[in-house]
Amino acid sequence: MAISLEAIVTGMNGGPEAIQQNFNKIKAELERMNGSVVEIPKEQFTTLNGFSVDRNACKGLVFKFDSFAIIYFQSYIGNVTLKGWTFKETLAIPKSYLGGFTKFASFGVDRRISDDAKQYDVNFKPDKAAATIYTRGSEWNNGGMDIKFAGILYN
């Protein structure tokens, strides 16, 4: 079923009401699909392999449905000292947030570019509920990385 949302433009009459109506339509569709939204508390992000984490940058959401879930995950890690072409797990969340789903497909491009133009890849391993990085050809000496991904969880 498609949801027909009203376009909201700056300065329109009834803008707040139209926004609320859009939210109500989305909520009704989630309920129809037996969906729910779960926020992962920032305290639930666990660092792995000696990285540090900026707790204020941690945000995790899981949109759960009957046969799949959508996950959004973001954070910022520090203490990144790695050689090029290195794969590491960085942050984990409790597996209970995954609702038993065992597969993950990203919605976007996994490649990231740091402020100093180093390329790296970010991904997610549902078997460990862990975000991963791959340093590509760049060497990291006590740097930081933005960790962000969104995708679908399924079996």
pLDDT value of position 66: 79
DSSP sequence for 111-144: EEE-TTS-EEEEEEETTTTEEEEE-TT--EEEEE
DSSP H or E segment with residue 53: strand 52-53
Residue 127: which residues within 8 A CB-CB, separation 6 or more? Answer: 102
Asked whether the whole model's pTM tops 0.75, one would answer yes
pLDDT value of position 18: 85
pLDDT below 70 — which residues of the chain? Answer: 1-2
pLDDT value of position 124: 98
pLDDT value of position 79: 96
Residue 27: which residues within 8 A CB-CB, separation 6 or more? Answer: none
